Amino acid sequence: MSFSRGLKEKAAKVWEDGYNHPFVQELGKGTLDKEKFKFYLLQDYLYLLQYAKVFAIAVVKSDTEELMKNFSAIQHYIISGEMDLHRKYMEGFGVTKNEMLAVKPSLYNRTYTANMLSYGQTGGLAEILAAVFPCAWTYADYGKRLKEQYAAELEGNFYRTWIENYASDGFSDSFEWFYDTLDELVANMSDAGREEIAEIFIRSVEFEYLFWDMAYKRQMSYE
């Protein structure tokens, strides 16, 4: 197994804890409190703005046309694809654009995005990919598993569009190049260097778990 594909196993416990979190499971069942999902949508909207910036930094740090194209494509998908899905859901809640702009990021949201941006500013492409990879990979994995596990409940599930978006082959295909690219970036690193890249990846999976937990509790801070 390649280095990149082995990262999921290194983060196995928190990865599975994330999938089994009540927020994720109730999405699949269609029983998640809509106010919790609304809280999540607004916080994730703010998150995605910062997430897109990390890919913009990666474009600047890229030294090949192919990497520039790939990082730019992801940034475009975030802004034009994922955020459109968020806007449509928020319209269903009656949330206006001004209300979206007025929302403040939670402590957990700020910490997660600050972590990614710090690697963007101070790290190389391997550090950046390790920091952003868990967001795409966990969503694709969870979406596919929810669609399979709760296939009988999807009809009439309010969250069906969300699940099917992340379960789609199109979403998985959009970041398929992450694997080989990260493997190439760490190929000449020492064992210690590769271990640090793995630790960055694991931390971001932990932040993903905390994001679900924050949304389920509608928690802006530690209190």
Would you please indicate which residues are annotated as catalytic (active-site) residues? 135, 208
Q: Locate 41 and state its tokens.
A: 């949508």
User: What is the rounded CA–CA span in Å between residue 209 and residue 211?
Assistant: 5
d(CA 1, CA 58): 26
By residue count, the chain amounts to 223
Helical packing angle, 191-217 and 22-29, nearest 10°: 60
Long-range contacts (CB closer than 8 Å, 24 or more residues apart) made by 187-195: 189/126, 194/3
Task: Tell me how crowded residue 17 is: count the other CB atoms within 10 A of its CB.
Answer: 16
